[in-house]
Structure 1
Amino acid sequence: MTKAFLAIYLLAANVLAFAMFGIDKAAARAGRRRIPEKRLFAVSLLGGAPGAWAGMKKWRHKTLHNSFRFGIPLLIVIDAIWVYAVLKMI
């Protein structure tokens, strides 16, 4: 794995997480099927937590749910730790 690959991966994960929050907000407003919370958290854990946080703020989505208010910032820290560990290995 190279630093460039890691950067592209993290960019993709964050864009995906950001988009998922927007899509879920639109689905909620339209009464359509929603994205499961487990899936939102999974993408966040896999490197997309900053994008998820930005999506929460941009669309004011899941901002009143304590699991997201505290969980996503925690996942940002966890993401930072694993990214740091990966960078130390490459």
Structure 2
Amino acid sequence: MMYLLVYLLIINLVSSIIMYRDKQKAIKQEWRTPESTLWFIAVVGGALGIWISMRKFRHKTKHISFTLGIPFMIILQVVLLFYILQRMS
């Protein structure tokens, strides 16, 4: 269980860093992180970090797929986490 929590902490920190860097690149009009990469990170457990970064850095907040999809992904991941924790005990 401890490994799962450490993984979730790390993947969400990574997702926040990637969102921050993407926002900085957007400001400078440089090459950006593909949305598919952001979605992949969200799917593998980084949705909460992406959502927090969306709010904190005001990034991707006008994209309906992110404003609706990321919160939905968080709900799915919380349900899955509770299921896993319940099965482990």
TM-score, normalized by length of structure 1?
0.91
Give the whole-Å Cα distance in 2 for the aligned partners of 1:51 and 1:9: 13
Secondary structure of the residue aligned to 1:68 is: helix
Alpha-carbon separation, structure 1, partners of 2:80 and 2:18: 22
CA distance in 2, matches of 1:67, 1:56: 12
Q: Distance in 2 between matches of 1:83 and 1:46?
A: 12
- 8 A Cα contact 1:45 1:78, kept in partner: no
Question: How far does residue 85 in structure 1 lie from its aligned partner after superposition?
Answer: 2.4
* Structure 1 vs Structure 2 CA RMSD: 1.0
- Runs of 4+ more than 4 Å apart: none
The count of corresponding residues between Structure 1 and Structure 2 is 88
Letter in 2 for 1:24: D
Note the 1:40-79 alignment, pairs <5 A: 40-79=38-77
Alignment gaps of 5+ in structure 1: none
Q: State the Cα deviation string for residues 37-69 of structure 1 (Å, max 9, x = none).
A: 111111111111111110001110000110100
Asked if 1:30 corresponds to 2:28, the answer is: yes
Conserved? CA contact 1:52–1:72, under 8 Å: yes
TM-score normalised according to structure 2 size? 0.92
Structure 2: segments with no counterpart, 5+ residues: none
